[in-house]
């Protein structure tokens, strides 16, 4: 290869820089005031005192490199702290981070957004994480969990198509259901803040409404037709149950003492019978040919502790309540029937 050595290289006319339309290959050291490259230049070491212009996109001068197009590089070096004039990041093509690579905000990297390949994280390590919206905030998810900072204690749990559960100290207290609000066993509405005096419990933990069938039974035989107007209804609030019942039964083959069974809840064990006041009884036709029906002057009933049977009693003329007797079904003649009605409440177990 031939070598050309020159002290100054100028264009054909005075004060005009030389032009290399097909490019130039400079293997040594080049010093120039301006270099305008239209096809390409390969230089070992170049010193340009004013600028280098590459096509219409890149200009390099003493102030740095200016580009009006796209810069593509294998890597960039530096933290970018000296970058200025950036109005947006990503543009129409977005910004992409690999798994487990976070984006940080704050001088001390206080806020991090990252994804580990399985889960996504927004982690704030300083102050409050505040989200402000001046219209409406919509958080759309099929399963929501509110937990403490260590993520080992649940405050609230909600699932699509299912219950919303509320916790206290990581223990379930209540949850929604198709019928309203439900409580786990032993939980309920706490009225202790409004309590006066002493109380064993201020928790209302049960409410129930329903029906049952009162059954008039006798010591022997079987009662006759049970009329269709027989009914039993109850309302249970806490440990008290309110009962309303009515039964109308024909004589049948039954005989001896009688009582009503089938109460919906077992009575509490209080050490004695729970007396429940008078009941209404009626025998059409005045069937007073039985066991002194004409001498009944009062009635009283009670529920034995630990039982579901309503015991019926009556008192005679000039007798004390302590002498109350159990009615005998023989008071009802074969052609008549007896009605019993009562509304009462008792304490349940």
Q: Please give the Cα distance from 303 to 309 (Å, whole number).
A: 6
Q: What is the dihedral of CA 20, 21, 23, 28, to 10 degrees?
A: 0
Find residue 247's DSSP bridge partners: 340
> In this structure, what DSSP letter does residue 265 have?
S
Checking if the pLDDT of 172 tops 70, the result is: yes
pLDDT at position 286 is 46
Q: Please give the Cα distance from 119 to 123 (Å, whole number).
A: 13
Exposure string of 46-77, with b = 16+ CB inside 10 Å and e = fewer, is eebeebbbbeeeebeeeeeeeeeeeeeeeeee
> What does the block give as tokens for 262?
């089938």
Checking if the pLDDT of 282 tops 80, the result is: no
Checking if the pLDDT of 120 tops 50, the result is: yes
> In this structure, what DSSP letter does residue 268 have?
P
pLDDT at position 177 is 92
Checking if the pLDDT of 174 tops 90, the result is: yes
pTM of the model: 0.58
């Amino acid at each position: 290869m031939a070598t050309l050595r020159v002290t100054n290289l100028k264009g054909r006319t005075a004060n005009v820089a030389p032009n290399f339309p097909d490019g130039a290959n400079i293997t040594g050291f080049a010093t120039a005031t301006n270099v305008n490259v239209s096809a390409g230049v390969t230089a070992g070491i170049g010193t340009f005192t004013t600028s280098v212009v590459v096509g219409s996109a890149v200009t390099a001068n003493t102030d740095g490199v200016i580009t009006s197009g796209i810069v593509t590089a294998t890597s960039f070096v530096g933290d970018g702290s000296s970058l200025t004039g950036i109005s947006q990041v990503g543009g129409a093509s977005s910004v992409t981070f690999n798994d487990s690579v976070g984006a940080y905000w704050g001088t001390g990297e206080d806020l991090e957004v990252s994804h580990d390949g399985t889960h996504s994280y927004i982690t704030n390590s300083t102050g409050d994480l505040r989200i402000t919206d001046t219209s409406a905030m919509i958080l759309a998810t099929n399963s929501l969990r509110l937990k403490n900072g260590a993520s080992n204690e649940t405050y609230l749990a909600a699932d699509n198509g299912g219950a919303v559960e509320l916790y206290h100290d990581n223990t379930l207290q209540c949850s929604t259901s198709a019928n309203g609000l439900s409580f786990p066993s032993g939980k309920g509405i706490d009225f202790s803040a409004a309590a006066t005096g002493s109380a064993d419990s201020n928790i209302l933990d049960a409410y129930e409404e329903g029906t049952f069938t009162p059954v008039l039974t006798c010591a022997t035989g079987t009662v006759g037709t049970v009329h269709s107007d027989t009914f039993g209804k109850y309302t249970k609030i806490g440990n008290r149950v309110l009962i309303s019942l009515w039964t109308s039964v024909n004589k049948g083959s039954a005989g001896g003492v009688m009582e009503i069974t089938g109460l919906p809840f077992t009575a509490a064990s209080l050490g004695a019978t729970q007396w429940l006041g008078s009941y209404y009884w009626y025998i059409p036709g005045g069937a007073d040919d039985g066991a002194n029906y004409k001498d009944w002057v009062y009635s009283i009933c009670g529920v034995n502790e630990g039982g579901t049977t309503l015991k019926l009693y009556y008192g005679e003329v000039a007798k004390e309540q302590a002498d109350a007797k159990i009615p005998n079904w023989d008071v009802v003649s074969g052609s008549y029937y007896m009605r019993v009605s009562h509304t009462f409440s008792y304490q349940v177990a």
